[in-house]
């Protein structure tokens, strides 16, 4: 069969790599893809926001299934558009995608269905938000309501930091912001919990812990993610049952009341406080870099899972995992998450001899005249599987050193909570 992947990041390269292993796949197309996907798929230079051109290409090439990777086309309704034209597609529709597209939509759902989450206030202008802060305790959390590529969250230790966050959000740092949220700061440990849905039932799809802060020791600015490990050290059957009962099931009930179902990956971002789960946020797709960390552990053929979800037959699939631990370190351009140089050549990838347990997924890269260039803030994702997290991290750092790319940096402490 022919499969098309929407997106251009490390997540999409990881999905392509998993699909390439299947003997059921004849051809993979990536819209628009990157330097990594170019080696295993056909990169198609069509913007994911250009729905009509994507549909035309799909029809011309008779692509059997489309998988939507990033959040923006999901929130903008690409799934609805393709389904309207009788194209099979894996991913949530526009209404369900509001779980990520609007934090206020999700918070209101939490309030209605008593889903445990941080206490919050919604504000439409700077003055009201700043007046509210006068009565608030610090640290406090301030979030942009709209999509912000994982960066629109501020943990503010004092009034000065909070006022700066409000200014940046309302001044358009993350696009037009009509609202922002101020949330109670929850003291606990974060966990990413993934499920896959066919519209009728869902199954667990792994756990991970992301490392959002740019500097070691979880310091500095928020990023799209500097690395991750899987599975999370926190997960156990009792906690999983609580997450499903208190958070996921009520959410699906709420969507059903709105007249919609959920089909695709659901990323539940949690804070675990004294063994109790609290919802931080939803993402309506696989996380990045969590996807790159989780998929190498998957034993079940990924295309079987996608087809089962599209055909509402997920109950017929058993999802199996390798008995290994996975760790991912993201190589970033110097200056990220602020200003960084683009179009810098990466020379030494061929010097790295990868074992069957190692992967390098491309994120912000581009192929020009058969040479690879860094064009994004997060450039490459180095992943390793091992029986121990410590060994996985050692393998990755060994490979990173072989690259000898002086224009980038990475955190050497990814997984520090599970590596003593």
Q: Residue 279: its pLDDT value, please? A: 97
Q: What is the CA angle 159-161-165, rounded to 5?
A: 110
Query: What percent of the chain is modeled with pLDDT above 70?
Result: 98
Domain with 173, as residue range(s), is 119-184
Place of tokens 């949690």: 270
pLDDT level of residue 126 (50, 70, 90 thresholds) = confident
Distance CA 378, CA 187 (A): 28
Query: Is residue 112 assigned to a domain?
Result: no
Q: What is the pLDDT of residues 245-254, one digit of tens each?
A: 999 999 999 9
Query: Is residue 194 assigned to a domain?
Result: yes
Residues whose CB is less than 8 angstroms from the CB of residue 24 and which lie 6 or more positions away in sequence, other chains included: 1, 301, 303, 304
Give the residue among 61, 55, 58, 106 at the shortest CA–CA distance from 77.
55
Q: Do residue 289 and residue 214 come from a single domain?
A: yes
Rounded to a whole number, what is the distance in angstroms from the first to the last CA of the chain? 46
What mean pLDDT value characterizes the chain? 94
Q: Residue 350: its pLDDT value, please? A: 87
Cis ω before 231 (30° cut-off from 0): yes
Residue of higher predicted confidence among 157 and 264: 264
Query: Is residue 6 assigned to a domain?
Result: yes
Q: What is the pLDDT of residues 285-332, one digit of tens each?
A: 999 999 999 999 999 999 999 999 999 999 999 999 999 999 999 999
Distance CA 36, CA 39 (A): 6
Query: CA torsion sign, 409 to 412 to 414 to 416?
Result: negative
For 112-116, 193-197, 222-226, 339-343, which range has the lowest pLDDT when averaged over its residues? 222-226
* Final residue before a domain boundary, out of 90, 108, 133: 90
Q: What is the pLDDT of residues 388-413, one digit of tens each?
A: 999 999 999 999 999 999 999 999 99
Give the residue among 234, 248, 238, 237 at the shortest CA–CA distance from 115.
248
Query: CA torsion sign, 184 to 225 to 261 to 317?
Result: negative
Q: Do residue 257 and residue 310 come from a single domain?
A: yes
Q: Do residue 131 and residue 75 come from a single domain?
A: no
* Final residue before a domain boundary, out of 290, 316, 342: 316
Using CA atoms, how far residue 149 sits from 38, 190, 275, 316, 357, in Å, is 24, 18, 29, 34, 29
pLDDT of 190 higher than 90: yes
Q: Do residue 290 and residue 207 come from a single domain?
A: yes
* Final residue before a domain boundary, out of 144, 161, 184: 184
Q: Residue 148: its pLDDT value, please? A: 57
Angle between helices 103-113 and 249-257 (to 10 degrees): 100
CATH number at residue 177: 3.30.1490.20
Q: Kindly report the three-state secondary structure assignment for every residue of 171-201.
A: CCECECCCCEEEEECCCCEEEEEEEEEECCC
Phi, psi of 42 (to 5 degrees): -95, 115
Q: Residue 170: its pLDDT value, please? A: 86
Q: Do residue 353 and residue 266 come from a single domain?
A: no
Across residues 213-242, what is the average pLDDT? 95
Query: Is residue 114 assigned to a domain?
Result: no
Q: Residue 354: its pLDDT value, please? A: 95
The torsion of the CA quartet 41, 45, 47, 52, rounded to 10 degrees, works out to -90
Structure tokens belonging to residue 353: 């001899």
pLDDT level of residue 171 (50, 70, 90 thresholds) = confident
Query: Is residue 102 assigned to a domain?
Result: no
pLDDT level of residue 381 (50, 70, 90 thresholds) = very high
């Amino acid at each position: 069969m022919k499969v098309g992947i929407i997106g251009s990041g490390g997540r999409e390269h990881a999905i392509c790599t998993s699909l390439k292993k299947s003997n059921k796949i004849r051809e993979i197309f990536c819209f628009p893809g990157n330097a990594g996907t170019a080696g295993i798929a056909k990169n198609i230079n069509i913007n994911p926001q250009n729905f009509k051109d994507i549909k035309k290409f799909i029809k011309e090439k008779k692509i059997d299934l489309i998988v939507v990777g990033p959040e923006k086309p999901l929130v903008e309704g690409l799934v609805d558009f393709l389904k309207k034209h009788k194209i099979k597609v894996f991913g949530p529709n526009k209404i369900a995608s509001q779980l990520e597209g609007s934090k206020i939509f999700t918070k209101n759902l939490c309030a209605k269905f008593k889903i445990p989450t941080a206490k919050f206030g919604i504000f439409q202008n700077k003055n009201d938000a700043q007046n509210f802060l006068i009565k608030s305790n610090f640290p406090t959390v301030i979030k942009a309501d709209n999509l912000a590529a994982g960066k629109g969250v501020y943990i503010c230790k004092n009034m000065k930091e909070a006022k700066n966050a409000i200014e940046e959000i309302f001044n358009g740092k993350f696009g037009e912001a009509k609202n922002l949220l101020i949330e109670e700061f929850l003291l606990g440990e974060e966990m990413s919990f993934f499920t896959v849905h066919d519209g009728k039932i869902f199954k667990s799809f792994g756990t991970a812990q992301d490392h959002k802060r740019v500097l070691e020791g979880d310091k500095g600015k928020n990023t799209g993610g500097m690395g991750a490990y899987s599975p999370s050290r926190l997960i156990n059957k009792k906690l999983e049952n609580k997450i499903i009962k208190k958070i996921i099931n009520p959410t699906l009930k709420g969507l059903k009341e709105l007249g919609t179902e959920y089909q695709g990956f659901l990323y539940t971002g949690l804070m675990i406080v004294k063994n109790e789960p609290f919802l931080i946020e939803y993402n309506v797709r696989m996380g990045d870099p969590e996807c790159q960390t989780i998929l190498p552990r998957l034993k079940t053929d990924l295309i079987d899972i996608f087809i089962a979800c599209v055909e509402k037959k997920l109950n017929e699939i058993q999802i199996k995992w390798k008995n290994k631990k996975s760790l991912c370190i993201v190589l970033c351009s110097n200056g990220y998450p602020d200003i960084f140089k683009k179009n810098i050549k990466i020379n030494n990838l061929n010097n790295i001899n990868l074992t069957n347990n190692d992967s390098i997924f491309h994120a912000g890269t581009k192929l020009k005249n058969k040479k690879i260039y860094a064009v994004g803030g997060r450039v490459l994702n180095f992943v390793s599987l091992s029986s121990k997290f410590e060994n996985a991290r050692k393998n990755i750092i060994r490979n990173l050193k072989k690259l000898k790319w002086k224009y980038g940096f990475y955190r050497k402490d990814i997984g520090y909570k599970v590596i003593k």
